[in-house]
């Protein structure tokens, strides 16, 4: 297999994993949160134009990708900490999204925040390639669930099982009807 075919297959694999685990868990985190917040469900049903704001808040509050490791290519100083090229760092998106300096009352799920963009999809040249697709998928799925009278929001969170994963936050199982 040539190097370019290997590279292409590697990229397809990245797309599969990056595009699947993430959005799936954005949705399961969203269902669990909305199961817990009937008042927000009612608000979204009354005004579906609020769903995109709810998705941004969901990305912030329960970031499906909590962190990613990176290797520094140059010297960096951050809050007095000197770091050298070649050193490994861990970017904790989930932690940044709960930083009160950027998001007042960060521990509160509030779809009415002024839209300071969360860092759940990264920043800079590696910003998530699938960001628009992820937002669109979440919009379609949440609109459909909110509009479906047969969907029961009485998710029994006691029966839910969290994913045992470092970087990904979501559910291995979330029984709903
Ligand atoms: C809620 C859903 C998603 C979340 C939370 C998410 C999150 C992220 C994050 C945090 C990064 C790293 C950004 C950085 O290092 O600055 C990333 C990169 C990436 N994402 Fe997503 N992602 C999502 C959905 C998707 C989808 C649907 C696709 C494709 C179908 C996708 C494809 C990629 C790819 C290819 C990269 C690497 C980009 C690069 O290194 O240049 N993601 N994503």
pLDDT digits (tens, 9 = 90+) for 17-31: 999 999 999 999 999
**4 occurs within a structural domain:** no
**9 occurs within a structural domain:** no
Q: Is 155 helix (H, G, I), strand (E, B) or coil?
A: coil
Q: How many domains does the chain have?
A: 1
Q: For residue range 127-161, list pLDDT tens digits in order.
A: 999 999 999 999 999 999 999 988 888 767 778 99
Closest among 155, 133, 171, 130 to 25, alpha carbons compared: 171
**98 occurs within a structural domain:** yes
**134 occurs within a structural domain:** yes
Domain with 65 in it: 17-173
User: What's the 156 CA to ligand 1 centre distance in angstroms?
Assistant: 30
Q: Enumerate residues lining ligand 1, CB below 6 A.
A: 14-15, 18-19, 22-23, 26, 64-65, 68, 93, 120-124, 126-130, 133-134
> CATH number, domain at 65?
1.10.630.10
Closest among 101, 99, 75, 103 to 89, alpha carbons compared: 75
Q: Where are the beta strands (DSSP E) in 23-132?
A: 68-71, 76-78, 81-83, 88-91
**5 occurs within a structural domain:** no
**95 occurs within a structural domain:** yes
Q: For residue range 41-59, list pLDDT tens digits in order.
A: 999 999 999 999 999 999 9
List C-alpha distances in Å: 134 to 9, 74, 90: 22, 31, 23
Distance CA 103, CA 112 (A): 12
**94 occurs within a structural domain:** yes
**2 occurs within a structural domain:** no
């Amino acid at each position: 297999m040539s190097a370019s075919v290997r590279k292409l297959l590697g990229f397809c694999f990245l797309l599969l994993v990056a595009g699947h685990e993430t959005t799936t868990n954005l949705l399961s985190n969203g269902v669990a949160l909305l199961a817990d917040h009937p008042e927000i469900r009612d608000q979204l049903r009354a005004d579906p134009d609020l769903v995109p704001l709810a998705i941004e808040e969901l990305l912030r509050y329960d970031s499906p990708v909590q962190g990613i490791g990176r290797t520094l290519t140059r010297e960096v100083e951050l809050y007095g900490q000197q770091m050298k090229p070649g050193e490994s760092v861990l970017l904790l998106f989930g932690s940044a999204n709960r930083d009160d300096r950027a998001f007042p009352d960060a521990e509160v799920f509030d779809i009415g925040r002024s839209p300071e963009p969360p860092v759940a999809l990264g920043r800079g040249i590696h910003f998530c390639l699938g960001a628009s697709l992820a937002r669109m998928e979440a919009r379609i799925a949440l609109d459909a669930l909110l509009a479906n009278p047969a969907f029961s929001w009485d998710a029994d969170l006691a029966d839910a099982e969290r994913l045992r994963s470092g970087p990904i936050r979501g559910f291995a199982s979330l029984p709903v009807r």
